[in-house]
Amino acid sequence: MRRAGLPYLLLLPAVLFELLVHVVPMLTGIYMSFKHLTEFFIRNWSAAPAAGLDNYRFALDFNGAIGRQLLQSFWTTCAFTVLTVCLSWLLGTGAAVLMQDPFRGRGLLRTYFLVPYALPAYTAAITWEFMFQRDTGLVNTLLVHDLHLFKTAPFWLIGGNSFWALLITAVWRTWPFAFLVVTAGLQNIPGDLYEAAALDGAGTWQRIRSITLPQLRSVNQVLVLVLFLWNFNDFNTPYTLFGNVPPPQANLISVQIYDTSFQNWNFGSGSAMSVLLLLFLLVVTAVYLLLTNRRRKTDA
Amino acid sequence: MRSSRPALLTLAVATALLASACSSSGGSGSGGGSVAGTTLTYWASDQGGSIAQDVKVLTPELNAFTKQTGIKVKLEVIGWNDLLNRILAAASSGQGPDLVNIGNTWSASLQATGAFLPINDDVMKQINGTGRFLPGALAATGAPGQPPVGVPIYSMAYGLYYNKAMFQAAGITQPPTTWDEFVADGKKLTKGGQWGVSVEAAQTPENAHHAFTFAKQQGGSFYDSSGKPTFDTPQNVAGIKQYVDFMAADKIANPSDAEYSNGTEAVKDFATGKAAMLLWQSADATLAQYGMQPSQYGVAPVPFNAAAPSGANHVDSIVAGINLSIFANTKHKDAAIQFMKFMTSQQAQTDLNKEYSSLPSVSDAYGDPAFQTTTVKTLQSVLANSAAPMPAVATESQFETVIGAAVQNLFADAAAGKPVTDQSVAAQLDQAQQKLQAGG
């Protein structure tokens, strides 16, 4: 009986810190979303008048300027996230599989690939911001002056191209994580599976399809989810690239919430949007886990 | 057993990530570690074109203050893009500096938060300030009828900076006084890699200031007398369109300016000969930093419309400037008041405004020869005669944010070659107003 309690005792500090770092701010955020918390009350939150469901009504009023913008940024964020996750996963898995067999310089190359992941988000994004500048950026120097692909230099940080600039930066930042996780997953695949397959005459592509990918399934299940959640919530990349007023074409939902909270000084409304985002991500995660787990059970 | 472990891991990771979704964003500004009783924390705004430059300018003054009073000052210079957020975070957490510089246009907004110590007659006496401040500058320290929440330390006004050599090469003898002349000159000056005017088209406050002045000249106003927003009036539309048209229709501004957001790029373009004109407030110090000598440029008042539309205001600048405020939460109120007294003293006002090429906000500092130049006289006259304070309403800072963004979007359209029409301007203004009202 006493031994049964020990794991819980050992978990206690972690649980307490989890409460402190995540759960308490989360609950505060939910509480704030039911308040008219504007600049008049930021010094004394508890004095802010109750808002009922006003903040939610207002965020979901798609005829109003704010609701419309929120909806638009939601779709932009969905497109951005799906593309980022797919590309990052493809690049990461591709690179990891190519580096599965030892060759000279493999360690060096692996380290090199991880550099974007090791760089602080701000440093990485600000470098891209410099590169994407129209007149002085490296990208246009290459595309316009060296390769002569465009007659007039395109804009990357404003207008329609800003979405692609954001995507490129995000993929560049996240794919090494996919590479790292898949590389780790590959270590766990027993070598004799490949040997047996080779004896049966399976080609490279067949080995990848029949051994590598199925064996990586549980790793991929977590990886895709984590990549999705990270990118859906990403704030650093768009904020560093575009500042506090992102172009409408690359307006991600996290920046939209930030703008509502910190630019328009309406923390109640910003919190309501955060809660809606949280609910959405919870539903997505639950459905995803249900589907992937059920499939694994039926497969097993 | 084998399959449940990854599922558990997934769940744990997912929960942790979801939790962070809700609590993300917004670093809280701390810095008020106030234990030693006599160390003040001071957040200064970036006045010198770079943070390093500000530290260089301010440090000798702060040392002089420490020598005089024994009070130490911990200085942090904060860039314009972060300053308001840092103040906001400090106000909400109660953990802030003792003193802070604010853009004077935010006065009424920040006054509404109650974050700052009201400067009542008693405090005014303690800092020796009664009757010394320029009336215009003092007007921009809060809503009318309430005790101000700061004192002006650097005063500024917008002027038209022009490159003398380029004007001469284009055969232009006088700086333009009307917008028609301005555009005509701009077209003459736009050739090769050179543009007529450079604009900081993606910077929120800069856009908002110009929107305000240009709308005023059309007889427009962004608030009615009861303080309600009236953004999309035809006058405001006309004013903003006139400004954006420098890029969209007149083609005298480089489309690349639509990316300029850090508050120095337009000045740099002017200083390095990429543009012949610049509409800016007290730019000398920044221009000097980029290697432009005062003899190379002239400063004239910002132009007006040749035929003033009915109801037009004779306004060619905002009352620009920096105020010094004391946080209401300070544990070192007396020391902070002493510092305020020091910063508004004749000596400090002379030294600092000379370095920053701004105008002293106290009348007794104007004796110094540095403030007798034609540039200073021009800007001083603008400030005294034709500058208007930005709206002194509690939503002023949101007004700057939403109008600045609207103008930025219009410039982005112009840069992409999309037409900027009365309708597109009105639509942006309408959206901006909805956002502002949603905030209140």
User: Which CATH number belongs to the domain containing residue A161 in this structure?
Assistant: 1.10.3720.10
Q: Do B22 and A25 touch (CB under 8 A)?
A: yes
Optimal mutation site among B22, B107, B116, interface A, most CBs of chain A within 10 A:
B22
Which tokens hold the place of A13? Answer: 């500090």
Whether B431 has its CB under 8 Å from any CB of chain A: the answer is yes
Q: What is the pLDDT of residues B215-250, one digit of tens each?
A: 999 999 999 988 899 999 999 999 999 999 999 999
Optimal mutation site among A15, A129, A161, A265, interface B, most CBs of chain B within 10 A:
A265
Query: Please, which residues bridge with residue A107 across strands?
Result: none
Phi-psi region of B192 (alpha: psi -120 to 50; beta: other; left: phi over 0): left
Taking contacts as CB-CB distances below 8 angstroms, the residues of chain B near A222 are 6, 9-10, 13
Closest residue of chain A to B204, computed from CA coordinates: A245
CB atoms closer than 10 angstroms to residue B421: 13
Query: Please, which residues bridge with residue B101 across strands?
Result: B324
Q: What is the pLDDT of residues B332-361, one digit of tens each?
A: 999 999 999 999 999 999 999 999 989 999
Q: Please check whether residue B258 is in contact with residue B414, taking contact to mean a CB–CB distance below 8 angstroms.
A: yes
Closest residue of chain B to A268, computed from CA coordinates: B439
Question: Quick one: pLDDT band at residue B26, thresholds 50, 70, 90?
Answer: very low
Question: Quick one: pLDDT band at residue B50, thresholds 50, 70, 90?
Answer: confident
Phi-psi region of A72 (alpha: psi -120 to 50; beta: other; left: phi over 0): alpha
Q: Is the pTM of this model over 0.90?
A: no
Distance (Å) from the C-alpha of residue A220 to the closest C-alpha of chain B?
10
Give the separation between CA A174 and CA A88, rounded to whole angstroms: 6
Residue type, B71: I
> Residue B74, SS3?
strand
Alpha-carbon dihedral of residues B303, B307, B308, B310, nearest 10 degrees? -170
CA distances from B279 to B147, B159, B160, B196 (A): 33, 6, 5, 11
Which of A158, A251, A166 lies closest to B409 in space, CA to CA?
A158
* A246 belongs to a structural domain: yes
Distance (Å) from the C-alpha of residue B106 to the closest C-alpha of chain A?
12
Alpha-carbon dihedral of residues B335, B339, B341, B345, nearest 10 degrees? 150
* A70 belongs to a structural domain: yes
Q: Could you tell me the CATH superfamily of domain B158-318+391-439?
A: Periplasmic binding protein-like II (3.40.190.10)
Q: Please check whether residue B239 is in contact with residue B246, taking contact to mean a CB–CB distance below 8 angstroms.
A: no
CA distances from A105 to A111, A182, B42 (A): 10, 19, 53
Whether B434 has its CB under 8 Å from any CB of chain A: the answer is yes
Largest distance between two CA atoms of chain B: 88
CA distances from B270 to A46, B80, B198, B249 (A): 50, 20, 7, 21
CA distances from B301 to A156, B239, B253 (A): 36, 18, 19
* A38 belongs to a structural domain: no
Give the separation between CA B53 and CA B57, rounded to whole angstroms: 6
Q: Is the pLDDT of residue B11 over 60?
A: no
CB within 8 A of B4, min separation 6: which ones?
Answer: none
The per-residue pLDDT for A299 is: 63
Taking contacts as CB-CB distances below 8 angstroms, the residues of chain A near B397 are 265
* Residue B435 or B220, more confident: B220
The per-residue pLDDT for A259 is: 87
> Residue B323, SS3?
strand
> Residue B419, SS3?
coil
| The residue count for chain B | 440
Which tokens hold the place of B72? Answer: 């130490």
Q: What stretch of H or E contains B72?
A: strand B72-78
Q: Do A265 and B88 touch (CB under 8 A)?
A: yes
Give the separation between CA B407 and CA B240, rounded to whole angstroms: 7
Taking contacts as CB-CB distances below 8 angstroms, the residues of chain A near B202 are 158, 243, 245
How far from chain centre, in Å, is Cα A176?
13
Q: What is the mean pLDDT of residues B156-167?
A: 96
Q: Do B21 and A247 touch (CB under 8 A)?
A: no
N-terminal to C-terminal alpha carbon distance within chain B: 55
Give the separation between CA B177 and CA A299, rounded to whole angstroms: 80
Give the separation between CA B191 and CA A199, rounded to whole angstroms: 73
Distance (Å) from the C-alpha of residue B347 to the closest C-alpha of chain A?
36
Distance (Å) from the C-alpha of residue A113 to the closest C-alpha of chain B?
24
Give the separation between CA B149 and CA B147, rounded to whole angstroms: 7
Same fold, B39-156+320-388 and B158-318+391-439: yes
Q: Do B21 and A281 touch (CB under 8 A)?
A: yes
Burial code (b: 16+ CB inside 10 Å, e: under 16) for A204-230 equals: eeebeeebbeebbebbbbbbbbbbbbb
Give the separation between CA A45 and CA A43, rounded to whole angstroms: 6
Distance (Å) from the C-alpha of residue B426 to the closest C-alpha of chain A?
14
Distance (Å) from the C-alpha of residue A266 to the closest C-alpha of chain B?
5
Q: Do A65 and B91 touch (CB under 8 A)?
A: no
Whether B25 has its CB under 8 Å from any CB of chain A: the answer is yes
* A222 belongs to a structural domain: yes
Helix, strand, coil abundance in chain B, percent, nearest 5? 50, 15, 35
Q: Is the pLDDT of residue B155 over 90?
A: yes
How far from chain centre, in Å, is Cα B27?
23
Residue type, B358: S
The per-residue pLDDT for B56 is: 94
Largest distance between two CA atoms of chain A: 78
β strands within B301-397, DSSP E:
317-318, 320-326, 359-360, 387-388
Phi-psi region of B198 (alpha: psi -120 to 50; beta: other; left: phi over 0): beta
Third-level CATH fold of B39-156+320-388: D-Maltodextrin-Binding Protein; domain 2 (3.40.190)
Q: What stretch of H or E contains B163?
A: strand B158-163
Choose the closest CB to B256 out of A22, A135, A263. A135
Q: Is the pLDDT of residue B28 over 80?
A: no
Q: Do B415 and A264 touch (CB under 8 A)?
A: no
Distance (Å) from the C-alpha of residue B354 to the closest C-alpha of chain A?
32
Look at the block and give the residue holding tokens 């540095």: B370
Give the separation between CA B160 and CA B277, rounded to whole angstroms: 7
* A165 belongs to a structural domain: yes
Q: What stretch of H or E contains A16?
A: helix A2-18
Closest residue of chain A to B418, computed from CA coordinates: A159
Give the separation between CA B60 and CA B57, rounded to whole angstroms: 7
The per-residue pLDDT for B97 is: 95
Q: Is the pLDDT of residue B292 over 50?
A: yes
DSSP A45: G
Whether B244 has its CB under 8 Å from any CB of chain A: the answer is no
A–B interface: beta-carbon pairs under 8 A = 163
The per-residue pLDDT for B439 is: 60
CA distances from A124 to A80, A121, A192 (A): 18, 5, 41
Closest residue of chain B to A40, computed from CA coordinates: B113
Give the separation between CA B119 and CA B325, rounded to whole angstroms: 9
Give the separation between CA B222 and CA B167, rounded to whole angstroms: 35
Q: Please check whether residue B389 is in contact with residue B212, taking contact to mean a CB–CB distance below 8 angstroms.
A: no
The per-residue pLDDT for A2 is: 60
Domain boundaries, chain B: 39-156+320-388, 158-318+391-439
Q: What stretch of H or E contains B197?
A: strand B195-198
The per-residue pLDDT for B59 is: 96
Which of A26, A23, A48 lies closest to A267 in space, CA to CA?
A48
The per-residue pLDDT for B310 is: 84
Residue type, A91: L
Choose the closest CB to B112 out of A26, A39, A296. A39
Distance (Å) from the C-alpha of residue A10 to the closest C-alpha of chain B?
17
Q: What is the pLDDT along chain A (300 residues), one digit of tens a residue?
A: 567 888 899 999 999 999 999 999 999 999 999 998 887 888 887 888 888 898 999 889 898 888 899 999 999 999 999 999 999 999 999 999 999 888 999 999 999 999 999 999 899 999 999 999 998 899 999 999 899 999 889 999 999 999 999 999 999 999 999 999 999 999 988 888 888 988 888 888 888 888 899 999 999 999 999 999 999 999 999 999 998 889 999 999 999 999 888 777 888 999 999 999 999 999 999 999 999 888 766 665
Q: Is the pLDDT of residue B19 over 70?
A: no
CB within 8 A of A178, min separation 6: which ones?
Answer: A88, A89, A91, A92, A93, A96, A223, A227
* A236 belongs to a structural domain: yes
DSSP A261: I
Closest residue of chain A to B417, computed from CA coordinates: A159
∠ CA A69-A74-A77, nearest 5°, is 120
Which of A182, A29, A163 lies closest to A113 in space, CA to CA?
A182
Domain that holds residue A289: 53-299
CB atoms closer than 10 angstroms to residue A104: 7
Q: Do B401 and A300 touch (CB under 8 A)?
A: no
Number of domains chain A contains? 1
